[in-house]
Structure 1
């Protein structure tokens, strides 16, 4: 198995529990409202054509669709896509989900107004190549908007989450941002792709929800960040 195959297998195995946690009834409504505000502020007004890369179980794509955007979500973990498609079927004009590689999305140039991701950058191989490819997919003035954090600053081998058998030494070596100590390392990736007005915004509202409700097992409450950059208007 390649490094990416092992990553895909890990997230397919995690899909049921991961999705159930995302859909926790005690905080789902608060989450949906908070994330709607985050993405509404990150992107120009709807309707936009949006590509959600590494979409996972589709939570971001669903929020974006409810905001009125036309959303396509891609992922390489079939287990996650199965969950995402179930959610899409529950709303009118739900996202379209398909198998696809976040590093090299298979779409024509200038297909989208925005490319989004959440919790992807840390587990993304070749992030500079990926963001350069996302930029190619943008129309003039388009936006890349990514949410992530410095989840494992001491390295994945010291993480409390059980990555055994999947995120091995070969996988860790393929992920430049997995042990990032500063979110500015992610911002630099966007800048090197030629995006302009790159900004990093702490997501205090999400941090407050995590403090109130707690976080997933083997995780700690950490500040998450929205990193955005724009393509020149042409």
Structure 2
């Protein structure tokens, strides 16, 4: 089993519980409002053609579509794709959800105005190659916008069921941002791909929601960041 197959298997198994957490009713409306504001800040007014890489259950893709963008979401974990398709089908002008590799997205150059991701960078193999490929997909003036944090600065110590079985040492060896000490390491990847005006925005609104409602199991309460760059 390849490294990526191990990652896919983990997230396919996690998909039901992950999606239930994202959709939990106690903070769903607040999350929708806060994350919509994050993505509205990240991208110019649409409608834009947006590729959401590592779309997971489609949380970002659905919100981006709700902002009026034309969104395509890709992922390699079939369990996540199943959930994302269900959410996309439930809305008018929802995102198109496809099987696809975030590192090597199979689209012609200049296909999109923006490439987005949420909680992907830490588990992204070959991030330098991936972001360079995203830049190739952008039209002039396009945007890369990623949301992530430094989830495991002290190593991938996570008590989630089967996490260590899938994110073993072989997997960790090819995920250079998995144990990043600072969001600056993600900034360096975007700058290295030739993006200009790379900007980091701490997501205080999400931090406050996590304070009010609590964080996901086996996670710490910590700041998340929006990192954007322009082609």
Q: Same fold (TM over 0.5)?
A: yes
Q: Which residue of 2 aligns with 1:208?
A: 208
Q: Which residue of 2 aligns with 1:159?
A: 158
Structure-1 separation of matches of 2:80 and 2:193: 28
Q: Deviations over 1:119-172 (max 9, x none)?
A: 00000000000000000000000000000000000111x334441210011000
SS of the residue 1:164 aligns to: helix
SS of the residue 2:98 aligns to: strand
**Is this contact kept in 1: 2:7–2:166, CA < 8 A?**
yes
Shift of 1:80: 0.2
SS of the residue 2:47 aligns to: coil
Structure-2 separation of matches of 1:192 and 1:166: 29
**Is this contact kept in 1: 2:158–2:164, CA < 8 A?**
no
Q: Which residue of 1 aligns with 2:198?
A: 198
- CA RMSD, Structure 1 to Structure 2 (Å): 0.7
Q: Deviations over 1:162-219 (max 9, x none)?
A: 4121001100001000000000000000000000000111000000000000011111
Shift of 1:88: 0.6
Structure 2 gaps, min length 5: none
Structure-2 separation of matches of 1:185 and 1:79: 30
| Total equivalences in the alignment | 230
Q: Which residue of 2 aligns with 1:16?
A: 16
Structure-2 separation of matches of 1:12 and 1:31: 23
Q: What does residue range 54-203 of structure 1 map to in structure 2 within 5 Å?
A: 54-156=54-156, 158-162=157-161, 163-203=163-203
Structure-2 separation of matches of 1:4 and 1:217: 24
Structure-1 separation of matches of 2:7 and 2:174: 11
